[in-house]
Amino acid sequence: MRKLIVGLVALVLLALVVGIGALAYVRSGEQPREGMETVTGLRAPVEVIWTDHAVPHVFAGSLHDAVFAQGFLHARDRLWQMELVRRAIQGRLAEVLGEPALETDRFLRRVGLWDAARRDAAAMPPDDRALLQAYADGVNAALERWSGPLPPEFLVLGFEPEPWAPVHTIAVAKMLSLTLASYGQSLAVARALRRLPRDRARWLFPEFPDWDATILPPAPEIPPLARSLVDRYSFAAASNSWVVDGSRTASGRPILANDMHLELQAPSLWYMAGLHAPATDTFPALDAVGTTVAGAPLVVAGRNRAIAWGYTNAYVDDVDLFIERVDPADSTRYLTPDGSRPFEVRAETLSVKGREAPVVM
């Protein structure tokens, strides 16, 4: 019994030592927020000041350097988040997550957002391309200068991130568009119409009523009970924003409140930051503070010295779904109003961790 107890204590101590060592090793990869660094790609010195709430403020000599530094900071703080979104849009999660992610890859390749991102990247105006390239250069500078181990997700899965490119930023925007689109609701309506008459299905998906509140012209007051019933049985939800006039605030200045109803996640979708750069011949002065998205430059919602701005999801009918009907006489063709046409076919190759051979769609 004594030997057993001694053995168990030794195992517990060994586990503690290994755990503390592993934790210390992972923590050693945390990138510094103080000191001076020399980074290739900047056109002039950039200063980053962190607030007590860990919000970085970037003071740069140009818009190029401001978004370069923003990419640098995003990569240091949100590298795994950026990598996960990029791989999801590309349909390449199974490469690192294995078999459980294969169906997700299949779905996202069918949706084709990565193809759409590449088409948009090829059609970008020169100024937009230069802006996204400066951001990508900042991300890649952070990867090149990384000290210590990568974030723990990379260590567990055993791979390193690839360089960032402007098309990856467009892919991040595509993912945000997909999460805000009425894709799931359109499918739910289609399923309901298969089982219910059209007039009954409409009760499940009420349209925005004519008598409900609007932020444009004055609208009549809605009885509280009526509003609560509509909210309780409405399928849709939405973001909201409102403004308090300066005559009703202690400071005498207006206040904008903006609540974008996105799902909670860790880390958050948003990355708070301030970007500051003087005006140039090409761009006006940049002096914005607010929410940014890891993987994309500039401020999404926030304020500058003149205005504050926010976003709400409009819940418009922004998704069109088409059911292709296979030609009964030839499964390689589909029916259209103009007759039968051949399917266009291309092969998609999906690598799967743990499989010797890739899967071909």
Contact 152, 87 (CB under 8 A): no
Question: Tell me, what's the pLDDT at 225?
Answer: 46
Three-class SS state of 150: coil
What does the alpha-carbon distance between residue 203 and residue 226 come to, in Å, rounded to a whole number? 16
What does the alpha-carbon distance between residue 106 and residue 109 come to, in Å, rounded to a whole number? 5
Amino acid at position 52, single letter = D
Instruction: Report residue 260 as tokens.
Output: 């974008």
Average model confidence (pLDDT) for the chain?
86
Question: Tell me, what's the pLDDT at 28?
Answer: 61
Rounded (5°) CA angle 185-321-318: 60
Q: Chain centroid to CA 121: how far?
A: 18
Question: Tell me, what's the pLDDT at 269?
Answer: 87
If one compares 11 and 275, the residue with the highest pLDDT of the two is 275
Q: Tell me: the pLDDT tens digits for 325-351?
A: 999 999 999 999 999 999 999 999 999
**Catalytic residue at 239?**
yes
What does the alpha-carbon distance between residue 271 and residue 317 come to, in Å, rounded to a whole number? 29
Mean pLDDT calculated for residue range 292-314: 92
pLDDT band (50, 70, 90) for residue 163 = very high
If one compares 153 and 260, the residue with the highest pLDDT of the two is 153
Question: Tell me, what's the pLDDT at 66?
Answer: 97
C-alpha to C-alpha distances, 229 to 210, 222, 226, 237, nearest whole angstrom: 16, 11, 5, 14
Residue with structure tokens 């567990």?
Answer: 156
pLDDT band (50, 70, 90) for residue 282 = confident
DSSP structure class, residue 248: G
Say if residue 216's pLDDT is above 70.
Answer: no
The catalytic residue among 186, 234, 239, 241 is 239
Closest of 322, 314, 319 to residue 208, by C-alpha = 314
Say if residue 266's pLDDT is above 90.
Answer: no
**What angle do the packed helices 126-144 and 166-180 form, to 10 degrees?**
100
